[in-house]
Amino acid sequence: MERSVIKAILKWCVEVIILTTIIGVILVIIGNSSGWNTSIAYSNAFFVAGVFVIAGGLASRLGASHDINQFRLLSSTKGFRDKSKQQDFVANTRGSTNLVFLSLLSGILLILSSVLISKMF
């Protein structure tokens, strides 16, 4: 049981690092094509990207909670009594919680990167 938990945590950490790296590469490409010459410009971009990633994750969770309320309304009707539809809906809703943590950690890494960029360069 412990190995599966460790594998899940490692997979999740890899996803966070991959997402952060992809966003960082996109920011570097945008910075180079826009002619950013100072570390402050890159630092600001990483900070703003981190804030947007965190806000996007929270917005996805708010959207999922809205979907849960709709699910409760629909589940009271006779047409939505199929258990497989209910299980699929609940599984999709729980996926948004994982997205919140993924975006929160990626956003924090991007903000920390902005601090490191401003201090190192």
What does the pLDDT read at residue 30? 96
Mean pLDDT within 75-100? 59
**Residue 24, pLDDT above cutoff 80:** yes
What does the pLDDT read at residue 14? 93
Chain-wide mean pLDDT for the chain?
81
- This prediction has a pTM of 0.72
When comparing pLDDT for 77 and 57, which is higher?
57
Mean pLDDT within 57-83? 62
When comparing pLDDT for 82 and 20, which is higher?
20
61 near 100, Cβ under 8 Å?
yes
**Residue 106, pLDDT above cutoff 70:** yes
Instruction: Count CA within 13 A, CB hemisphere, residue 8.
Output: 6
**Residue 71, pLDDT above cutoff 80:** no
What does the pLDDT read at residue 76? 56
Question: What is the 3-class SS of 70-113, one letter each residue?
Answer: HHHHHHCCHHHCCHHHHHHHHHHHHHHHHHHHHHHHHHHHHHHH
Integer-rounded Cα Rg, in Å, for the chain is 19
